[in-house]
């Protein structure tokens, strides 16, 4: 029976693929007002602006590739029962080969009606006037600020069952995602890979911070994990 490994990933894991993070210098939120482009209020006020913001991010996905951090995470499935719980809305974990990915904040390559949670694959731009069969405007299947995170209870249950937790590439500023590691059992080792790690609130768990970029840090973590099974 393989040990259960949970990977909690954020934008930093896709940085080496050329996708901007949010809060680093030059990050996405530096060029945009979050509430204008990533909130229900912003969408109601100026839907075309919001749709264009996500159209640009969706188009970029067709120009980038998974990086070594994504590949190592996928390869860990050989030795562990891996679940990736990601805040990212890109598809790079899946394209690197991860087979068990839970997107907390939605997916750029899915769309839904503004009147429903039922999402479906959508790889094109979404423009004003693109209607769902229910007659309502299509929107990106993205969790905006202030909206519920439907997958959070499933994510908590997964972390509660983990034997190991790896946090990679997140500034740990956005809840409830940032609080997920707190649900690990007290004796479960936690590894945090980030070149500029946020301060992890005090935890009884053994926490090891690896202040490296994802591709290097995940190599170090893989060594440590494989020596423990
Ligand atoms: N490798 C690993 N981590 C990196 C790298 C890299 N090459 N480059 C930067 N990082 C780290 C940064 O140090 C930072 O801690 O990635 C983290 C990125 O933090 P944020 O930009 O805040 O991204 P994230 O934590 O995923 O944001 C969470 O906020 O805006 C919302 O919904 C959005 O899902 C997002 C959520």
Per-residue pLDDT of 134-164, as tens digits, reads 999 999 999 999 999 999 999 999 999 999 9
CA 105 to ligand 1 centroid distance, Å: 13
Q: Which two tokens mark 168?
A: 């990679």
Mean pLDDT of 160-169: 98
pLDDT 10s digits, 43-56: 999 999 999 999 99
Which residues sit opposite 9 in a β-bridge?
86, 168
pLDDT at 4 over 90: yes
Tokens of 106: 């939605």
In this structure, the number of other CB atoms found within 10 A of the CB of residue 25 comes to: 7
Catalytic residues: 105
Average pLDDT over residues 174-200: 96
Q: What is the pLDDT of residue 64?
A: 98
Mean pLDDT for 55-65 is 97
Contact between 220 and 212 under an 8 Å Cβ cutoff? The reply is yes
With residue 43 as reference, give the H or E element that holds it. Answer: helix 40-45
pTM: 0.97
For residue 229, the model assigns a pLDDT of: 79
The reported pLDDT for the residue numbered 156 is 98
Check residue 216 and give its pLDDT: 98
Q: Who wins on pLDDT, 201 or 35? A: 35
Pocket test for ligand 1, best of 170, 198, 216 (most atoms within 8 A of CB): 170
Q: Are 205 and 50 in contact (CB under 8 A)?
A: no
Burial label for 50, CB within 10 Å (0-12, 13-18, 19+), is buried
Domains defined for the chain, CATH in brackets = 1-19+66-105+148-229 (3.40.50.1220), 20-63+110-142 (3.30.1600.10)
Count of positions (residues) in the chain: 229
142 known member of a binding site: no
Is residue 94 part of an annotated ligand binding site?
A: no
pLDDT at position 228 is 85
Question: pLDDT band for position 24 (50/70/90)?
Answer: very high
| Choice from 16, 19, 21, 147 to test ligand 1 binding pocket (greatest atom count within 8 A of CB) | 21
Kindly tell me if the per-residue pLDDT of 217 is higher than 90. yes
Q: What is the distance in A from the centroid of ligand 1 to the CA of 109?
A: 20
**pLDDT score for 169:** 98
**In contact, 66 and 88? CB cutoff 8 Å:** no
Q: Six-digit token pair at 28?
A: 């996405």
Alpha carbons 229 and 224: distance in angstroms, whole number? 9
**How much is the average pLDDT of 109-123?**
97
Give φ, ψ of 213 to 5 degrees: -70, 165
Residue 153 tokens read as: 């209870």
Task: Quote the mean pLDDT of the chain.
Answer: 96
Angstrom distances, CA of residue 106 to CA of 89, 103, 183, 206, 211? 6, 5, 22, 30, 28
Residue 202's pLDDT band, with cuts at 50, 70 and 90, is confident
Among protein residues, the one with the nearest Cα to ligand 1's atom 30 is 22
DSSP of 81-110: EEEEEES--SSHHHHHT-S-EEETTEEEEE
pLDDT at 201 over 90: no
Local structure of residue 197 (DSSP, 8 states): P
Per-residue pLDDT band at 30 (split at 50, 70, 90): confident
Sheet of strand 120-121, all strands in order from the earlier edge strand to the far edge: 120-121, 106-113, 138-142
């Amino acid at each position: 029976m393989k040990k259960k490994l949970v990977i909690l990933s954020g934008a930093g894991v896709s940085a080496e693929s050329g996708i901007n993070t949010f809060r680093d210098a030059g990050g996405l939120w530096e060029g945009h007002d979050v509430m204008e482009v990533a909130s229900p209020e912003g969408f109601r006020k100026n839907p075309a602006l919001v749709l264009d913001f996500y159209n640009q991010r969706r188009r970029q996905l067709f120009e980038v590739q998974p990086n070594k951090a994504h590949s190592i995470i996928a390869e860990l499935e050989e030795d562990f029962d891996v679940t990736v719980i990601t805040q990212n809305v890109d598809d790079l974990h899946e394209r690197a080969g991860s087979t068990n990915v839970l997107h907390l904040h939605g997916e750029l390559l899915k769309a839904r009606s503004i009147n429903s949670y039922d999402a479906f694959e959508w790889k094109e731009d979404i423009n004003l006037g693109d209607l769902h069969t229910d007659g309502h405007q299509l929107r990106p299947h993205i969790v905006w600020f202030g909206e519920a995170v439907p997958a959070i209870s499933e994510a908590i249950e997964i972390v509660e069952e983990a034997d190991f937790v790896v946090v990679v590439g997140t500034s740990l500023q956005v809840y409830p995602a940032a609080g997920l590691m707190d649900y690990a059992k007290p004796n479960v080792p936690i590894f945090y890979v980030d070149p500029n790690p946020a301060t992890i609130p005090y935890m009884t768990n053994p926490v090891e911070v690896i202040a490296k970029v994802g591709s290097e840090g995940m190599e170090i973590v893989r060594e440590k994990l494989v020596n423990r099974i």
